[in-house]
Structure 1
Amino acid sequence: MHYKKLFSKHLLLRKFHKGDIDFIFKHFSDANVTRFLYDQEPLKSIEEASKLLSWVMDFDSQDHIRWCITLKDIPIGTCGFHLYDAEMKSAEIGYDLAYQHWNKGYMTEALNVVLHHAKQNLQLHTVNACVATDNTFSQKLLQKLKFVLVKTDPNKHLYRGKYYPHHIYSLVLK
Structure 2
Amino acid sequence: MITELHTTRLHLRQMKAADSTDLFQVWSDPAVARFMNISPFSDEKQALDMIQLLANLAEEKQAIRFSIIEKESGRIMGSCGYNYLDDEQARAEIGYDLAKIYWGRGYATEAVSALLRHGFSSLQLNRIEAKVDPRNVNSTKLLEKLEFTREGTLRSYERAGSVAEPGSRDTFNDLYMYSKLASD
Instruction: Tell whether the structures are fold-level matches, with TM greater than 0.5.
Output: yes
Is 1:163 aligned to 2:172, yes or no?
A: yes
Other-structure match for 1:130:
131
Per-residue deviation, residues 18-68 of structure 1 (Å, max 9, x unmatched): 221111211111011111112x22212122122101123334232101111
For structure 1, the 5+ residue unaligned runs are none
Per-residue deviation, residues 54-102 of structure 1 (Å, max 9, x unmatched): 1233342321011110113110010001222111100111000110000
Is 42-51 or 74-83 further displaced after alignment?
42-51
Quote the Cα distance in structure 1 between the aligned partners of 2:76 and 2:55. Answer: 15
Quote the Cα distance in structure 2 between the aligned partners of 1:164 and 1:128. Answer: 18
Number of residue equivalences: 172
Quote the Cα distance in structure 1 between the aligned partners of 2:14 and 2:174. Answer: 32
Other-structure match for 2:26:
27
TM-score by length of 1: 0.93
Other-structure match for 2:163:
none
Other-structure match for 1:10:
9
Other-structure match for 1:77:
78
TM-score by length of 2: 0.89
Per-residue deviation, residues 100-123 of structure 1 (Å, max 9, x unmatched): 000100111111111101111111
Quote the Cα distance in structure 2 between the aligned partners of 1:140 and 1:127. Answer: 17
For structure 2, the 5+ residue unaligned runs are 161-167
SS of match in other structure, 1:57: helix
Other-structure match for 1:51:
49
- How does 1:92-111 map onto structure 2 within 5 Å? 92-111=93-112
